[in-house]
Chain A
Amino acid sequence: MSDVLTSVLRRRGWTLLLALLLFALPFYLDAFWLRIGLFSMAAAIGAVGIGLLSGTAGQLSLGHAFFLAVGAYGYVWLAGEPGPGLPPALAVLLAVLLAGAAGGLFSPVAGRVKGIYLGVATLALVFLGHHVLLTADSVTGGFNGRSVPPLELGGFSFTEADPGLTVLGVPFGAEERLWYLGLALFALTWFTARGLLRGRPGRALVALRDSETAASVMGVHVAKYRSAAFVVSSMYAGLAGVLLALSFRRVVPDYFSLALSVDYLAMIVIGGLGSVAGATAGAVFVTGLPLLMTRYADQLPLVATPGSGDGSIGPTEAARYLYGAAIVVILLYAPDGLHGLARRTRARLRRRPPVTVPSETGPAPGTSATTARAKEHTP
């Protein structure tokens, strides 16, 4: 019995430790950091989706923002007023299925068109989606968007609801509660995506990417698998859209632009194509960087404080330059992304075991005595 436990610990040790750390974070971090975490988790879910399509199946998509929008607006409409006003939990599920259905509607194209040509075809989706979001006022709220109805699950509300919740002396507001929702959804994404990639569908998609001819003579139904990859990718995008909507508390059309699609491509390239962990790392990088730079703009050289408007580079632009540069550096020196870099580093460390094995846990979360302290707030 204890043998089983130790072997599980040895194999899953790092994962368990990381999960524990992520679980404890809301007790120590304030809303600003939690929001970065939330957006990163949402982005990671979306990035896993496009990673499956572009990284694994080799199909370029510039339409990811469209499916994020379908998920986000789908939830808002389904759970909100005007709209059917369904129970929010059901609305989440239906919004994900709706995004999948939208991907399915596109599958006659997605199944037949390959690679970069699909990229151009999906470009149309983003423009079409943006136009619909702006003009279909009654559903989408037009230019000003709509506020997002809060998620409630069995009487528990993911907002700072009236019966204020305090856990171990830490007040649990919307961010803290949504954090755990995000963790759960991300865990689901991680579990399912890895299952897919290591299973029969994943191998078929890799084969499709590497050689359509070989895949087809080995019995892979090319059009069917291409479409299925597109649908599954859209469903992850839909889920990411729902989580983004819940975190933003308001959805506006301008967010779901072509730039967002490109951001997602950047995530999987930076993270490393074809890997779930890589997509996650890329998502954290691309999401966190602009937010952090905005936050600490006053301490960075050459970057203007938000709103100063004296012609110098704003933090968001600076972040874009930076991750533009990061993509170039990664493509040049680590074409397999952060994931490949990590794998090679690990292999090198394993080859020379006695050398200091760096602990990757990061700083241990405070001492237990501080659990009850009120959290500092970032201005």
Chain B
Amino acid sequence: MTTRTTTPPALHVRDVTVRFAGLTALDDVSFTVAPGTLHAVIGPNGAGKSTCFNVLSGLYRPARGSVRLGDEELTRLAPHRIAALGVARTFQNIVTTQGTVADNLMLGRHVLSRSGFAASALRLPRALREQREHLAAARGIAELTGLGEHFETPVALLSYGDRKRVELARALCLEPRVLLLDEPVAGMNAAERARTAEVVRDIRAELGLSVVLVEHDMGLVMRLADEVTVLDFGKAIAHGTPDEVRGDPEVLRAYLGTETTGEDAA
């Protein structure tokens, strides 16, 4: 497997503001994902976590602020250009396409392969060779994510947990430098959660990529994250290591809804 670079560049989010017709979904949000770390973005429902991801992957254009990957400005780029720079994501609700697991994973190889309409239509040797190579790489990633035995299975026949893992594997097929995971264990049972957590930890260790994680499962966040950013009503209210964030009175207020007198909340 060819990897892009050994260490990914840092992802800088600076003063990002997103408004939807008067509603401010993100308000001056800034954080930095240090190279190779797992950065969790948490917060109550409607805090702006998914909006944040949509800005990072180019689906929303912020009204203000910038997103940079190393020296590359991502803010004004179309989603497919951002993908080509090595930013891959999964979705909160599963978004797979028709076909087998292999078909879905091969979509993940899109930016890494080149065959166009003419080469594929005429089945030129180089198109066929490219297809074979990428199929082998996709199979490897399926093994890595525990989907090896389902490689030829239509996605529609898989269990919920497996389909969520197909999304994860598809994102990995991009060989990303930054991986955005939007609630990767939502709706999973305990065993599936543990399995996915293990996969996330393994791929980080093995591929050395940066991960941005949005998740409601606090146990998972606290175990996996190097750093945490807490959003509430579109504002970043806290940053820090899991332990720092856990004790932060603002965070407790956001989650438990108590008054801001610190002693009460603790």
Contact = CB atoms under 8 A, between A and B. Distances in A.
B97 A206 contact: yes
Contacts of A207: 97, 107
Contacts of A96: none
B174 A192 contact: no
Contacts of B116: 200-201
Given A199-B127, A200-B113, A218-B83, A206 B99 contact: yes
Interface in B198-237: none
**Most A-side CB within 10 Å, residue of B89, B120, B130, B170:** B120
A7 B252 CA distance: 67
B31 interface: no
A213 B120 contact: no
Interface in A188-236: 191-193, 195-196, 198-204, 206-207, 209-211, 213-222, 228, 232
Nearest to B82: A217
Interface string B98-116: 1100010011111101011
B97 A211 contact: yes
B80 A200 contact: no
B117 A203 contact: no
B103 to A, nearest CB: 6
Contact of A214 (B95, B122, B123, B127): B95
Interface string B114-133: 01110111110001001100
A171 B172 CA distance: 62
A191 B107 CA distance: 22
Given A201-B117, A206-B98, A219 B57 contact: no
Nearest to A222: B80
Nearest to A232: B117
B115 A200 contact: yes
Given A199-B127, A203-B107, A216-B59, A210 B80 contact: no
B79 A199 contact: no
Interface in A311-343: none
Given A200-B110, A217-B88, A210 B122 contact: no
A193 B121 CA distance: 6
Nearest to A200: B115
B103 A203 contact: yes
Given A200-B131, A206-B97, A217 B83 contact: yes
A353 to B, nearest CB: 21
Contacts of B120: 195-196, 198-202
Nearest to B170: A218
Contacts of B80: 216-217, 219-222
B111 A219 contact: yes
A222 B78 CA distance: 10
B194 interface: no
A191 B97 contact: no
A204 B82 CA distance: 17
B48 interface: no
B58 interface: yes
Interface string A263-303: 00000000000100000000000000000000000000000
A193 to B, nearest CB: 7
Nearest to B85: A219
A195 B78 CA distance: 28
Given A217-B88, A232-B117, A210 B97 contact: yes
A195 B125 CA distance: 12
Contact of A213 (B59, B98, B106, B108): B59
A169 to B, nearest CB: 38
Contact of B58 (A199, A202, A215, A217): A217
B136 interface: no
Interface string B219-261: 0000000000000000000000000000000000000000000
Contacts of B160: none
Contacts of A210: 95-98
B106 A203 contact: yes
A126 B119 CA distance: 31
Nearest to B127: A199
Interface in A62-111: none
Nearest to A195: B123
**Most B-side CB within 10 Å, residue of A191, A204, A213, A218:** A218
B43 to A, nearest CB: 22
11 contacts: A195-B127, A196-B121, A199-B120, A199-B127, A199-B131, A201-B115, A203-B103, A213-B91, A214-B91, A215-B97, A218-B111
Interface of A: 191-193, 195-196, 198-204, 206-207, 209-211, 213-222, 228, 232, 274
| A-B pairs, 9 with minimum CB distance | A199-B120, A219-B111, A219-B83, A216-B79, A192-B121, A210-B97, A214-B95, A195-B123, A207-B97
Given A216-B83, A217-B88, 4 more contacts: A201-B120, A210-B98, A213-B79, A214-B91
